[in-house]
Structures are given as C-alpha cells and as structure tokens.
Structure 1
Amino acid sequence: MILIHALHRCDPCFIPRSTFMSAKPFILLLLALPSLPALAHEGHHLPGAHHWHATDVFGYIALAVVIGLAWWLSGRK
C-alpha cells in the first residue's frame, strides 16, 4: 500500500489541482507569445514605408483573446 502511494506521488503527470489553477494565466500568456512578432516593418525595400499585412491583425486578435481569457479566469474563485 505504501509503495503504491509513493509511486503515485512520483508520477510526472500528477499535478495538484491548486498548482494547475494558479499556473493557468501564466500558461495562457505563454501561448500568446507567438503573436509578438506581428510588428510594422519597412515595406519591401522602400525606406520610410511602414506597413502592416492583413494577417498581422490575427496576432493582435489572438493576443486580446488570450489576455481576456486570462483576466476572466483569474477573477473566478
């Protein structure tokens, strides 16, 4: 019985619920990091011609959704 209990506690998939719940906003923010490179850039070798691509907006929408979810989930008890 003690051996089974010790093996259960050593299981790498075993994460206490309180630890996961406190890490959820951090995990969501980490998932938002890929949208950070969506910045304006010099346009196709034209100096001073900063521009955006339509797909850059998806990164900001994803970032807003992730921040909103993190804010909403952190307010729950």
Structure 2
Amino acid sequence: MTQPVYDAVYKIDGDLKFRPVIRWTEDGNPLVVDDATGQLVEARSLPGFVQLAEDRHWRFKARSGRPETKGGR
C-alpha cells in the first residue's frame, strides 16, 4: 500500500497554489519549501495557507468558499 501524498493549499491573489509536503515534524506538522529562502518551513507559517489536501481532486464552492471534495471523499 502506498502512503498518501499531501499538498499544502494556498490562496494567493485569488488563485490556488499547491506546495508538496516534503516532510513531517515529530509533532505531525507538515513541512514545505519556502521559495524565498529555499528552507523547509511549517506549511501553516506561509501567507495564504488554506488547508492540506490529500490530492488535487477537490474544488472550492463558489458561494461558501469552503472546500468541496469530488468523488465522495
């Protein structure tokens, strides 16, 4: 069985941006690469963080702004 792959999702200037989770801290926090510094940082520390997504097969509902999954996930 393969391990799930996660992306950190950011909303920047109205667009969704995805950064792959590279590693997890001992406390279970996701780490991503900060493009400005090239360093691993906690995903939630970067501006525009929305959530973690197991895959990219979801979208935002137009009215509520909350994530909606596709395919019953």
Normalising by the smaller structure, the TM-score range is: under 0.3
Name the TM-score, length of structure 1 as normaliser: 0.20
Pick the structure with more strand per residue.
2
Q: Please state which structure has a larger fraction of its residues in helix.
A: 1
Greater RCO structure (CA 8 Å; 6+ sep) = 1
